[in-house]
């Protein structure tokens, strides 16, 4: 098996999610159980068959609690991925690797989160973590929005990207959310005037450049390609997968290497494409991590959809809309569907390749899904 790689060796065969809302009454553990059971039901696989789990290090429901609650079988592989939203795609990648290597047969990845009704992590920084907080927090660089806005300002300065480019990202996500009844912003259209006159969060980022604080949970089921052929749904193959932590990278405040504007996406992308039969030209639809609009131009460059500095301009002329060069975040993304650390992007990628998205790209057969840019990241190239 050595050297054959992950290419199409495994598939996502089930997806599940709870409702998304600013406030859900149930706790994170209950939401996790609901999402996992929904995904297994979607796959037509009994909980007792699950022998692998993967989630984020920031996930509060641990494997023991989840496995016990929903009645999983004996687990032979479990994994957690660090760096918050950078871990989303890696949860699936770890399961795919474990299954391809024979360490397990049925894997479930999940994320449950109450950020809409719960406290925001940065408000717990009254005593900041020693590293890297000592270099940023005392000066009032407190929130992820501030940390990414710093890169965004430099990016706009260096390459002439504009707020209109960021608006193009926010609008594409909102337009898709307006087609998706499950999205928090389903019935809330966005206009350029609303965007340009909204309040600042951290200049140059305004309210609509920021993702939604959301309660919700999602899960998906990964099995071997062979097993997938017998499942209830059309398999969505994991064609290529990668993590990315570039040399001399530093957390979300990546100001200290030679080229802070080439982040983890570039590292993940090199591995992702190297092990794929596809190129960026072949991607029909993309789910690109959008905790902040400004991450999207960086990712467009990193994953090779355009050259350095061209990410802003790429968003022009409806490129990110349905019918455009690269339809983006077709469920509404973190900006307008739900911010559940990017897991909703994975499930939406699966829906696109099943042909069941609420904003279906006609004939979509390939989908790039990415995790958080700016932090050590991960990505999946899915195909039908």
Partner 1 sequence: MLTPVTDADGAPFWEYAAQGELRVQTCADCGEPRFPPRPCCPHCQSFAGEWRPVSGRGRVWSYVVPHPPLLPDYAEQAPYNVIVVELADAPRIRLVGNLVTHAGAPLGSFDPDRVRIGTRVRVVFSGGLPQWVLA
Is 289 one of the catalytic residues? yes
The half-sphere exposure of 151 on its side-chain side, counting CA atoms within 13 A, is: 29
Contacts of 232 (CB under 8 A, 6+ apart): 13, 14, 42, 43, 44
Rounded Cα gap, residues 186 and 116, in angstroms: 17
Q: Which two tokens stand for residue 227?
A: 């097993």
Q: Least distance from C-beta 6 to partner 1, angstroms? A: 30
The answer to whether the bond into 204 is cis (omega within 30° of 0) is yes
Q: Between residues 132 and 324, which has the closer beta carbon with respect to partner 1?
A: 132
Residues that bind partner 1 in the complex, under the rule CB under 8 A = 123, 125-143, 145-146, 149-151, 153-154, 157, 199-205, 248, 250, 253, 255-258
Q: Between residues 254 and 344, which has the closer beta carbon with respect to partner 1?
A: 254
Q: Between residues 208 and 237, which has the closer beta carbon with respect to partner 1?
A: 208
Q: Least distance from C-beta 246 to partner 1, angstroms? A: 13
Q: Which two tokens stand for residue 128?
A: 């900041």
Q: Please pick, among 155, 237, 303, 339, the residue that the annotation labels catalytic.
A: 339
Q: Between residues 83 and 303, which has the closer beta carbon with respect to partner 1?
A: 83
Q: Least distance from C-beta 193 to partner 1, angstroms? A: 20
Q: Least distance from C-beta 250 to partner 1, angstroms? A: 7
**343-354 helix and 88-100 helix, angle to the nearest 10 degrees:** 60
Rounded Cα gap, residues 250 and 273, in angstroms: 24
Rounded Cα gap, residues 321 and 32, in angstroms: 32
Q: Least distance from C-beta 158 to partner 1, angstroms? A: 9
Is 159 one of the catalytic residues? no
Q: Please pick, among 155, 186, 237, 289, the residue that the annotation labels catalytic.
A: 289
Contacts of 95 (CB under 8 A, 6+ apart): 10, 52, 54, 77, 79, 104, 107, 108, 109, 222
CA distances from 354 to 292, 349, 357 (A): 28, 9, 8
Asked if residues 186 and 177 have their Cβ atoms less than 8 Å apart, the reply is yes
CA distances from 275 to 268, 269, 279, 381 (A): 11, 10, 10, 10
Q: Between residues 8 and 255, which has the closer beta carbon with respect to partner 1?
A: 255
Q: Between residues 86 and 204, which has the closer beta carbon with respect to partner 1?
A: 204
Q: Least distance from C-beta 299 to partner 1, angstroms? A: 19
Q: Tell me which residue has tokens 């037509």.
A: 44
- The catalytic residue positions are 289, 339
């Amino acid at each position: 098996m050595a050297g054959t790689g992950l290419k199409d060796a495994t598939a996502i065969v089930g997806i599940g999610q709870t409702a998304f809302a600013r406030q859900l009454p149930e706790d994170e553990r209950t939401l996790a159980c609901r999402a996992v059971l929904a995904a297994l039901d979607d796959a037509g696989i009994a909980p007792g068959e699950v022998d692998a789990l993967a989630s984020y290090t920031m996930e509060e429901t641990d494997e023991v609690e989840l496995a016990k609650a929903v009645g999983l079988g004996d687990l032979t592989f479990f994994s957690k991925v660090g760096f918050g939203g950078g871990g989303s795609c890696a949860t699936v990648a770890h399961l795919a690797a474990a299954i391809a290597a024979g360490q397990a047969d049925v894997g479930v990845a999940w994320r449950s989160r109450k950020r809409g009704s719960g406290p925001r992590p940065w408000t717990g920084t009254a005593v900041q973590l020693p590293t890297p907080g000592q270099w940023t927090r005392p000066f009032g660089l407190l929130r992820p929005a501030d940390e990414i806005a710093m890169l965004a300002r430099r990016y706009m300065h260096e390459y002439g990207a504009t707020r209109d480019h960021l608006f193009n990202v926010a609008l594409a996500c909102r337009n898709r959310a307006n087609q998706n009844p499950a999205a928090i912003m389903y019935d809330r259209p966005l206009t350029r005037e609303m965007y340009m006159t909204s309040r600042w969060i951290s200049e140059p980022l305004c309210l609509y450049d920021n993702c939604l604080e959301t309660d919700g949970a999602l899960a998906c089921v990964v099995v071997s390609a062979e097993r997938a052929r017998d499942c209830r749904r059309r398999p969505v193959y994991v064609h290529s997968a990668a993590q990315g932590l570039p040399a001399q990278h530093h957390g979300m405040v990546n100001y200290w290497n030679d080229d802070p504007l080439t982040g983890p996406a570039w590292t993940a992308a090199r591995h992702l494409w190297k092990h794929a039969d596809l190129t960026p030209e072949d991607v029909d639809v993309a789910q690109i991590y959008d905790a902040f609009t400004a991450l999207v131009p960086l990712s467009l460059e990193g994953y090779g959809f355009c050259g350095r500095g061209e990410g802003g301009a790429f968003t022009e002329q409806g490129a990110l809309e349905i019918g455009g060069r690269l339809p983006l975040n077709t469920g509404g993304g973190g900006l307008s569907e739900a911010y559940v650390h990017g897991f909703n992007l994975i499930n939406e990628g699966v829906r696109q390749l099943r042909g069941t998205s609420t904003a279906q790209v006609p004939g979509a057969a390939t989908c790039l899904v990415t995790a958080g840019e700016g932090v050590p990241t991960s990505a999946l190239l899915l195909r039908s």
